[in-house]
Amino acid sequence: MNCMRKFLPLCKGVRTKWSSSLWVCYRRQSLPPMSTWSSEDESDRSRWRNAALLASVALAAAAFLEVKKKTRVLHAKEAPKTSADKDAEGLPTYSAQDVATHDTKDKRIWVTFHHGVYDITDFVDEHPGGDKILLGAGGAIEPFWNLYGVHKSPEILALLETFRIGNLKASDVGEAMKGTADPYSTDPKRHPALKPASMKPFNAEPPISILTDNYITPSEFFYVRNHLPVPEINPAEYELEIAGLDGEEHTLTLDDLKTKFPKVTITSVVQCAGSRRSELNKVKKVKGLDWGACAIGNATWSGARLIDVLKHFNFDLDDPRIQHVILDGLDLDPTGVAYGASILADKAFDPKGDVILAYEMNGEELPRDHGYPVRAIVPGIVGARNVKWLGRITLSEEESNSHWQKGDYKGFCPSVDWDTVDFDSAPAIEELPVTSAVCSPPDGSKVRGETLHVKGYAWSGGGRKIIRVDVSADGGRTWKAAKLHSADTSLTRAWAWTLWEIDVPVPEGVEKLEVVSKAVDSSYNTQPDTTENIWNLRGVLNNAWHRVMYSVVR
């Protein structure tokens, strides 16, 4: 019996592929300590591979944080001259069995990557939480780094090389990946027009030139933001768990959601916190996907109201202890940890908050990339809280302990860097600030004529309606108000975006034309003029004036 199956009981309807012989399911259990694994379950080599998989989770995350914090690199006096892609001259050769014996601090903790053998003992001592690496000491980190391509950045590979002590025996190179399937092999096909920001996990946005062609963004052109492989979920076996403060637990099937509760439809934007990060990168390099202005979309979503579901099970929504609603997905990393987030109870329980458990997008079942079979839609709130592949809802006194809730998606002062940042000091992003973008013609286009027809979008978080979009054709010296196209909603419940258009004059004699947009919402919030003043180390919350430059052809 596979050791993972022994400790992770199969859950209904969900499977995530980590190896050709291993299906790991999730019901919020964590893997057991390595010491509880029996040698009778599988061969030493297979056990080594699974240990490596666990170790790589901690090491990759820790290495990424180490690079971001710019802490000193142990033993590094100069940039490494070696590469994991080949043997390093003058270093000894070790077999995988040799490496596997180095699984405790007193023996020194070794790991492998491609051709290299690395002693990370001192890294474990220096890094908070480094003890997690001990779960799989003596293994390879390729399996996890194939899960997160971002960990193969030059900075992290250079950091790893500073711990290199030897070369891996030629016959063992690549052995850790044998029998290990690509966890992304079952991801859905995507429209070729999407522009990837990363392939594994898949993250992509549509071309800006087509974003505002439709008020409702077609599903195939809706930006994709995945943190992990897309799970395969059997709708007939899908169950949504709902838990209260006092231990009460309930489950709903997909059919229950569709038949026991009124179906409601809302039109709502979903926007990534990192939308327009590429503009902040021009000020100073930040960490995160290099999104343009299209990590945003506007769709119709249909499903059951969250408040109707909670009332169905007689939860006391007036209980003052309930401050947060935790949302856990069914997309998993190799250790069984799922993507998770939480929203404020005030939003979740507001009858006018329109939080729904959506099973349809644009009148059809949810695409897999967008959360099939069920996702949370939290209108007016950052996309990170609109959890896809929803598996569990928990009423809670505290916010989610998920990394994506507590250790990411937060904004900081421009002077805060990775040496001084304290994620506990800032609240998680909820409502996004007012923003706009010039979409057509796209930046860099050649234009001609006396006037230019310009189109774009505007939106503000929290349901605040866009009341005006100002457009300048001279870099922000003079302005004209654009014509707006929006849904007939109240000033405080406008979940959808506003499209705008305007004809701007092209002055005689100019070779370059800078067009700028800035939006104003119903609270008279408007956009700041520069990115420099709102730069932050994570590259989130960029809502500066959107600027595009055209070449004028006479």
State residue 23's pLDDT score.
31
Residue 3 one-letter amino acid: C
Residue 46 region by backbone torsions, left for phi larger than 0, else alpha for psi between -120 and 50, else beta: alpha
Is 409 catalytic? The answer is yes
Q: Does the structure show a pLDDT above 90 at 390?
A: yes
State residue 493's pLDDT score.
98
Strands 93-94 and 110-113: unpaired
State residue 65's pLDDT score.
52
Tokens representing 262 are 């009124």
Residues 343-351 have a mean pLDDT of 98
The C-alpha angle 47, 185, 231, rounded to 5 degrees, equals 85
Give residue limits of the domains in the chain. Answer: 43-177, 200-425, 435-552
State residue 143's pLDDT score.
67
Q: Does the structure show a pLDDT above 50 at 71?
A: no
The C-alpha angle 425, 429, 431, rounded to 5 degrees, equals 140
Assign domain 43-177 one CATH number from 3.10.120.10, 3.30.565.10, 3.40.50.720, 3.20.20.80. 3.10.120.10
d(CA 500, CA 212) in angstroms, rounded, equals: 9
Which of 409, 457, 538, 547 is the catalytic position?
A: 409
Highest-confidence segment of 178-182, 387-391, 508-512:
387-391
540 φ/ψ angles, rounded to the nearest 5 degrees? -110, 165
Is 127 catalytic? The answer is yes
Which of 127, 277, 305, 464 is the catalytic position?
A: 127
State residue 181's pLDDT score.
74
Per-residue pLDDT of 462-481, as tens digits, reads 999 999 999 999 999 999 99
Q: Does the structure show a pLDDT above 60 at 45?
A: no
Strands 451-459 and 435-440: antiparallel
- Do residues 430 and 343 make contact, with C-beta atoms less than 8 angstroms apart? yes
d(CA 26, CA 15) in angstroms, rounded, equals: 8
Is 294 catalytic? The answer is no
Instruction: Indicate yes or no: pTM above 0.85.
Output: no
Highest-confidence segment of 56-70, 108-122, 288-302:
288-302
6 φ/ψ angles, rounded to the nearest 5 degrees? -60, -35
404: nearest Cα among 431, 377, 386: 386
Which of 115, 151, 370, 464 is the catalytic position?
A: 151
Write out the CATH class of domain 435-552: mainly beta
Buried b (16+ CB within 10 A) or exposed e, 186-217: ebeeeeeebeebeebbbbbbbebebbbeeeeb
Residue partners of 138: CB distance under 8 A and separation at least 6: 48, 51, 52, 55, 99, 100, 101, 102, 103, 109, 110, 111
Which of 15, 49, 225, 375 is the catalytic position?
A: 225
For residue 107, the number of C-alpha atoms closer than 13 Å in the C-beta half-sphere is 13
State residue 8's pLDDT score.
31
Higher pLDDT, 554 or 12: 554
State residue 44's pLDDT score.
37
412: nearest Cα among 530, 541, 527, 295: 541
State residue 326's pLDDT score.
99
**Average pLDDT over all residues of the chain:** 86
Per-residue pLDDT of 107-151, as tens digits, reads 998 989 899 999 988 877 665 445 445 555 788 877 666 666 666
- Do residues 507 and 553 make contact, with C-beta atoms less than 8 angstroms apart? no
State residue 134's pLDDT score.
57
State residue 176's pLDDT score.
67
Per-residue pLDDT of 253-269, as tens digits, reads 999 999 999 999 999 99
Is 554 catalytic? The answer is no
Strands 164-168 and 93-94: parallel
Which of 3, 11, 25, 272 is the catalytic position?
A: 272
Gyration radius from the chain CA atoms: 25
355: nearest Cα among 318, 321, 393, 329: 393
Residues 480-505 have a mean pLDDT of 97
State residue 141's pLDDT score.
76
- Do residues 364 and 296 make contact, with C-beta atoms less than 8 angstroms apart? no
Write out the CATH class of domain 200-425: alpha beta
536: nearest Cα among 381, 418, 436: 418
Is 453 catalytic? The answer is no
State residue 94's pLDDT score.
96
